[in-house]
Amino acid sequence: MAFGMVAFGNKAGEAIFRGLQYAEKISWNCIGGFTVLAYMDKNGKFKSFETQRGGTRTLFTEGEETGVNPPEELSNSRIAGLIAGGPDRLEPLTQFLAYKDNVGIITGHRIPTYNSVNNKPINQEILSHIEKGLTANEAIDKVFDENPECDTGLLSIDMKGNIGMRNSEKVLRNIESIGYAKRSNSENKIEVLLNEIFPHQETAELAAETAFSVMNFKEEKNIEIIVRAGTKINHGKEDIVKVDNNLIAKEIYTTDINLLKGLQVCIVPYKNSKIIQNDNIIGKLDIEAIVNLQDGIIKDLEGQSEVKLTIKGVSD
């Protein structure tokens, strides 16, 4: 009946968008229709985007173009949540994703607007308890303890990144197609809750893993070494490239002694060759090139007189 996700940490907004986007590609039934996504902007206020049909393909547009990437402000948000499902839900769509500035976001599946025993939409009631001082976990437990027969399962997140999750006793007794997954570390948190989307648990796990990967991705500037024609290849016990202060390869070693005889078409230096500069290992070779060797001397590198090859950190 719906797909809910919340995230706290690095690129939370982009993470939940990509998680849903991937879920739409691998699953079927109640998905790819309406979507509401809320995020905290750079001023600490919540904003939202919504669509009735098309899911992530129509959530953001530029003129007549659909399927565009989310705005940078949303992508970089540290708190975000969404709800998604089939098409043509009752307006306003924001009723299904409760959020309030300086409080938090409530999402979930089935009927998030179910009237509680206090005759309030249950998602709004949880939000009000967070506003009064309860954590997201405490607020959701309090309301679900008071409403064991409500027809919903919800995720709550507060401004400190606390996340609560509960399915009602009624839902747990009767609904078999529930999917739930979470990922967390010291910096980032993500949780997914859904039902009537198949395969249910696999979709939840893959959406959570996709989103968590976005949150934990560390973009590093590529370091490149230069390998030139005319460089001599030496035999050694390890694949090694020694570079100067300008990252130009001056000595290259291979474990394959056969490459030093006659005309050879081969890959040298080899992937994961140690890159040594001033007697220090600065990385390992990541990108290779096919070269022509004549008696251990590089004649050309993929038809070029020199190439730049990317290296990766020693710990990668």
- Residue 279: is its pLDDT beyond 90? yes
Contacts 24+ apart (CB under 8 A), 146-150: 146/116, 146/117, 146/118, 147/114, 147/116, 147/117, 147/122, 150/111, 150/114, 150/116, 150/122
Of the pLDDT bands very low, low, confident and very high (cuts 50, 70, 90), residue 64 is confident
- Is 1's pLDDT higher than 80? no
Domain architecture of the chain: domains with CATH = 2-216 (3.60.20.10), 223-312 (no CATH)
Asked whether 55 and 3 are in contact (CB, 8 A), the reply is no
| Stretch 104-133: mean pLDDT | 97
The pLDDT assigned to 92 comes to 96
Q: What is the pLDDT of residue 314?
A: 65
Q: In this structure, are residues 148 and 140 in contact, taking their beta carbons and an 8 Å threshold?
A: no
Site of tokens 């904003």: 47
State the pLDDT at residue 71: 96
pLDDT band at 315 (very low <50, low <70, confident <90, very high): low
Amino acid at 180: Y
Residues 128 and 155: beta-carbon distance below 8 Å: no
Strand partners, 83: 4, 36
Is the pLDDT confidence value at 25 over 60? yes
Mean pLDDT computed over 306-312:
95
Instruction: Determine the 3-state secondary structure of 146 from DSSP.
Output: helix
ω into 112 cis (within 30 of 0): no
The residue type found at 243 is V
In which element (H, E) is residue 48 found? Answer: strand 46-51
Whole-number average pLDDT of the chain:
96
Q: What is the pLDDT of residue 303?
A: 93
Give the CA angle between residues 34, 100, 57 to the nearest 5°: 25
Q: Write out pLDDT tens, residues 139-186.
A: 999 999 999 999 999 999 999 999 999 999 999 999 999 999 999 999
207-261 confidence digits (pLDDT tens): 999 999 999 998 777 899 999 999 999 999 999 999 999 999 999 999 999 999 9
- Asked if 102 and 43 count as a contact pair (C-beta separation under 8 A), the reply is no
pLDDT value at 316 more than 80 = no
Dihedral (Cα; 164, 209, 22, 37), 10-degree rounding? 30
Q: How confident is the model at residue 297 (pLDDT cuts 50, 70, 90)?
A: very high
Contacts of 18 (CB under 8 A, 6+ apart): 210, 211, 214
